[in-house]
Amino acid sequence: MEVLAIVDPANRPGGDELIPRAQSGDFAAFEDLYHLHLKKVYAICLRMTADPSRAEEMTQVTFVRAWEKLGLFRAEGNFGGWLGKLAVNVVLADQRAAGRRRRRESGAEDVIPFPRAEADEVGSALDLEQAIAALPPRARHVFVLHDVEGYRHDEIARMLNVAPGTSKAQLHRARKLLREALKR
């Protein structure tokens, strides 16, 4: 009796051999790429949105866009990096669209206050993920892109449509707010 070994795609070394197959329309190869990169893409989306259900949705949108744009990926590039940038762009586009909807509906500026801890949470320790999630959106985006994902300020500036100096200022603000939050 022959035993078939089921190989979890997450245990494969890199999946580089999957990319040309997926680009030629092999959905099974793309599904393997999905499983290889799912955790990283979800982590980026979660840190950018600070909302698990929104992050799940943005992760799925990212992979749909990746399937649609797979032909644009160059074989000599880093697929994980390309996918990460795609995830960042998907989240930012979604947040810009949500901001436009809110402004149209309310006629007000898009201001999101810094969330305060509730009475029963005041005594509990605040971990880093909670502190990052509590950052104002722009500061959180720059912090995640720079300190977590490793983008340079000029790259972040292009992604967020801001000046590199604004990116640096937002990073400084994010770090200061994180230090304050973690001291509590």
Measured distance CA(27)–CA(67) in Å, rounded: 9
Which pTM value belongs to this model?
A: 0.65
**113-150 per-position pLDDT tens digit:** 445 445 444 333 347 788 888 899 889 999 988 888 88
How many Å apart are CA 10 and CA 32, to the nearest integer? 8
Residue 95's pLDDT band, with cuts at 50, 70 and 90, is confident
Provide the pLDDT for residue 10: 42
Q: What are the tokens at 24?
A: 């030629």
In this prediction, residues 173-180 reach a mean pLDDT of 90
Whether the CB-CB separation of 135 and 43 falls below 8 Å is answered with no
- Give the domain ranges of the chain: 15-109, 125-184
List, for residues 24-81, the tens digit of each pLDDT value.
999 999 999 999 999 999 999 999 999 999 999 999 999 999 999 998 888 777 899 8
Indicate if the pLDDT at residue 111 is higher than 50.
no
| Residue-level pLDDT at 106 | 64
DSSP 108: S
> What is the C-alpha separation between 171 and 141, in angstroms, rounded?
9
Question: Does domain 125-184 fall into CATH 3.40.1160.10?
Answer: no
Q: Decide yes or no: CATH 3.40.50.880 for domain 15-109.
A: no
